[in-house]
Structure 1
Amino acid sequence: MPLRATLAVALSILVCAPLHADDDAQRRAQALAQDAIIVDTHVDAPGILSETWADLGVAAPDREFDYPRARQGGLDIAFMSIYTSAREDEQGRARQSAHAQIDAVEALVQRHPDKFAILTSPADVERLREGGRVLLPLGMENGAPLGDDLAQVQAFFDRGIRYITLAHSAANRISDSSYGVERKWDGLSPFGRQVVAEMNRLGIMVDVSHVSDAAAAQAIELSTVPVIASHSAFRHFTPGFERNISDELARAIADRGGVVQVPFGTAFVNPQAATDMQARFRARAEFDRRNAELAAAGKPTEDAAAFEAAWERDHPTPSTPLSAVLDQIDHGVKLLGVDHVGIGSDFDGVGGELADGLRSVADFPNLVAGLQARGYPDEDIRKILGENLLRVWREVEAGARR
């Protein structure tokens, strides 16, 4: 017997075996993570790929998603977030940026067809998973690339987009944002209502993360199929932080068969960090408004990098335990039922500001172990890890066929 095993046996006899119990729990969590279908609805790899290429088919230590760690953590399906900013929208660059990011994901798959595959339908999961591939469906974070052209919904569907987050950090032509001080549309715009209908027709999931409460309520009501919140924690823990979903809206999503996907980012699951994030977006909006006025007056503008550095200095990220994410899941399950909660990590999207123990795609077994320790049966954990999201996706596809 190896020395390590001998010592473990001796120690377990002395202290009534807690060491074996811990090891067994970890093995059990690892086994379930590998056997279950894990679906993460929000990984921000594409934006970084298009800016600074990294071969994610091999170890990429400066990223939170790569193939080796995805397989280590049991991740099977990672929605690649095609994110465009409000600034890109203002400058007319959002559509090109979205296409460039899709190109980057396709290039990654072409480099490693044995490791990755684009996923456009849940019907293809089992076939494409063969050989240990990690499947990469596409989600558009911010509907800005659509502009005001309804035909672009079809165009991006043809490129693989399977959910659209209607807005992001500012109102666009579709919807108001949860971060916006002023509300341009009082929810969805008339064009936004057309977009929701077209998404239903094509089989694109409607995502209400990031949008204002009014916009979310209207989208949920208008949609003829279930909607999702691809990466929204519960506002129950962060009062006043509209970016997180209210219990009322979460219930409306669940009542229509949808799912709320819980993120791991500190800013969503830690109350102080959430307060800081809300304040940051508003301070940055005021900074940009002030700079626009200075530029219009022909005066020197303020340094954006200096603004960001000062904010980071004055608002350090608080440490956040994994239990904060587990508490979010507990709340969702109690509020909505276990069939309406999932996970949308926001890996590579929050600058490394993540809950302890959930730092990369290798860490899903830690989440599983935490849920098992809280008494969740394995069949319920499987639902949270991915079965719920796949069910909703199938229902959205079925609605399109109808």
Structure 2
Amino acid sequence: MMRTALLRSAIVLALACAATAAAQPPEAARRLAQDAVIVDTHIDAPGILVGDWADLGQAVPGREFDYPRAREGGLDVAFMAIYTSAARDEDGSARQVAHQQIDAVEALAARHPDRFALLTSPGDVERLRAGGRVLLALGMENGGPIGDDLAELERFHQRGVRYITLAHSGNNRIADSSYTLEKRWNGLSPFGREVIAEMNRLGIMVDVSHISDAATAQAVELSRVPVIASHSALRHFTPDFERNLSDELAKAIAAKGGVIQIPFGNAFVNPQAAANTQAYFRAIGEFDRRNNERAAAGEPLEDRRAFVAKWDAEHPSPPTAIDAVLDQIDHAVKLVGIDHAGIGSDFDGVDGNLPEGLKSVADFPNFIAGLQARGYADTDIRKILGGNFLRVWAEIEAGAER
């Protein structure tokens, strides 16, 4: 009996190992992941660090970014998203929350100087990544923390912020959001135009992800250096989803010398998930409007958490294959050329709703294997993985008025 049990255990183990080996990407993809400079321009770890602390220098099950998996996947540069919601902007807490998140990223790097380093310039990548360190750069998702004070831009620049997504899920002082039905400025506000000029002066990248079509077009036109889309897919696959870029806007960004960083989340690359996301933001906007009216009338407020939970239960994210992301890359390359495509995953920012094979930062070799299978040369894959973005960042930095 014991021998039989041992034999069965050995067979089960062998089958499990064989299945794991079969799921591994080819050696060529793993080698390229470790050798190339991989830059992911959007990871939402900071907000989670503040709200539910974990030591990301160690393996943290349940998160999509931590040091061990970053090194397993070959990630070199991780832009930490300093995210503040439209509600934070409205109640005046956005600036404080942004600084708290920056503090958290700085503390993480200080706790593990052998594993992380803060990155503020593309010229420092090779030096700082030596020894297997993952470089943490800062991007501010939503310009709300600057309030209406241009001087805040320089303060955040001094703290390491190197791109700013002008708005997020609601219209703000700077620009209209892609998610809102009613636009406030028909693009950029007068203050938003000043913001772009000051960002150009400082060398802060103008990020057009999340903002309306009109605001994107105006930002591209006004900026005297290239602009980026830190995590925006292409609307070609998701009709009527303004959050993704139209072909026309993608071409305009590329013509200005910018780069489009394709995200991985289902909501960006799966048509049904995109439609659900658009509908959600409109529904939650209407919910908040009703609650504001109730508050003004002195009536009891509806439970926002219950509304969101019910919505999520009724709109589960559809299963999505990795091919949906690869199709986005293919379309971007055909549309704007190999020199203007990159990756901005949105790991830790999409509630785990990610394609099969792209569940964490450990999975970049799967992405590389997919590109290799589609005939991309390794030199072009290197551009997509980070070369294009680093080139654009260097150009924007060089354009700053020192």
Cα distance in 2 for residues equivalent to 1:107 and 1:341: 32
* Corresponding residue number in structure 2 for 1:102: 102
1:314 match: 314
Structure 1 partner of 2:39: 39
- Counterpart Cα distance in 2 of 1:383 and 1:66: 24
Aligned equivalent of 1:362: 362
Per the alignment, residue 271 of structure 1 pairs with 271
Give deviations 1:159-215, integer Å, cap 9, x for gaps. Answer: 000000000000110000000111111100011000000010010110000000000
What SS class does the counterpart of residue 53 from structure 1 fall into? coil
**1:274 Cα deviation from its structure 2 partner:** 0.3
Q: Quickly say closer, same or farther: Cα 1:347–1:322, change in 2 above 3 A.
A: same
Would the alpha carbon gap of residues 323 and 23 (structure 1) be closer, same or farther in structure 2, given more than 3 Å must change?
closer
Amino acid at match of 1:361: V
Render the CA deviation track for 1:258-305: whole Å, top value 9, x for unaligned. Answer: 000000000000000000000000000000110111111111111112
The whole-number CA distance in structure 2 between the counterparts of 1:101 and 1:296 is: 33
Q: Deviations over 1:339-396 (max 9, x none)?
A: 0000000000000001110000000000000000000000000000000000000000
Amino acid aligned to 1:58: Q
- In the TM superposition, residue 312 of structure 1 has moved relative to its aligned partner by 1.1
Q: CA deviation at 1:62?
A: 1.7
SS at match of 2:243: coil
Alignment partner, residue 282 of structure 1: 282
Cα distance, 1:25 vs structure 2: 6.4
Alignment of 1:55-134 (within 5 A): 55-134=55-134
- Residues 1:165 and 1:24: Cα distance change in structure 2 (over 3 Å): closer
Distance in 1 between residues matched to 2:88 and 2:400, nearest whole Å: 31
Please tell me the residue identity of whatever aligns with 2:69.
R
Give 1:324 shift: 0.2
Q: Is the aligned partner of 1:219 residue 2:219?
A: yes
Structure 1 residues 170 and 23: alpha-carbon distance in aligned structure 2, compared to 1, 3 A threshold: closer
CA shift, 1:24, in A, is 10
| TM-score (normalised: structure 2) | 0.94
Residue aligned with 1:316, SS: coil
Mapped to 2, the partners of 1:212 and 1:136 lie a distance apart of: 28
Contact 2:25 2:365 in 1 (8 A): no
1:331-346 counterparts in 2 under 5 A?
Answer: 331-346=331-346
**Match of residue 371 from structure 1:** 371
Say how many residue pairs are matched.
383
Whether contact under 8 Å (2:44, 2:347) holds in the other structure is yes
Counterparts in 2 of 1:194-213, with a 5 A limit? 194-213=194-213
Give the aligned partner of residue 247 of structure 1. Answer: 247
The answer for the alignment partner of 2:16 in structure 1 is: none
- AA paired with 2:299? K
Q: Which amino acid is the alignment partner of residue 77 of structure 1?
A: V
Instruction: Give 1:309 shift.
Output: 1.5
Q: Distance in 1 between matches of 2:29 and 2:130?
A: 22
Structure 2 residue identity aligned to 1:88: R
**Cα distance in 1, alignment partners of residues 248 and 80 from structure 2:** 29
Alpha-carbon distance between aligned partners in 2 of 1:162 and 1:368, rounded to the nearest angstrom: 27
Partners of 2:208 and 2:25 in 1: CA distance:
36
Cα deviation per residue 1:66-115 (whole Å; 9 max; x = unaligned)?
00000000000000000000011111000000000000000001100110
Runs of 5+ consecutive residues of structure 1 not aligned to the other structure? 1-18
Counterpart amino acid of 1:84?
T
8 Å contact kept, 2:25–2:366: no
Matches within 5 A, 1:295-310: 295-310=295-310
Q: Which residue of 1 aligns with 2:174?
A: 174
- The one-letter code sitting in structure 2 at the alignment partner of 1:260 is I
Amino acid across the alignment from 2:210? H
Question: What TM-score, normalized by structure 1, do the two folds share?
Answer: 0.94
User: Aligned partners of 1:329, 1:119: CA distance in 2, in Å?
Assistant: 26
**Deviation of the 1:131 alpha carbon:** 1.1
RMSD (Å) for aligned C-alpha atoms: 1.4
What is the distance in 1 between the residues matched to 2:45 and 2:168?
Answer: 17
Deviation string 1:112-140 (CA, Å, 9 cap, x unpaired) is 01100110001111111111100001000
Cα distance between partner residues in 2 of 1:291 and 1:160: 37
Find the counterpart in structure 1 of residue 53 from structure 2: 53
Change (3 A) 1:213 1:131: same
Aligned amino acid, residue 69 of structure 1: R
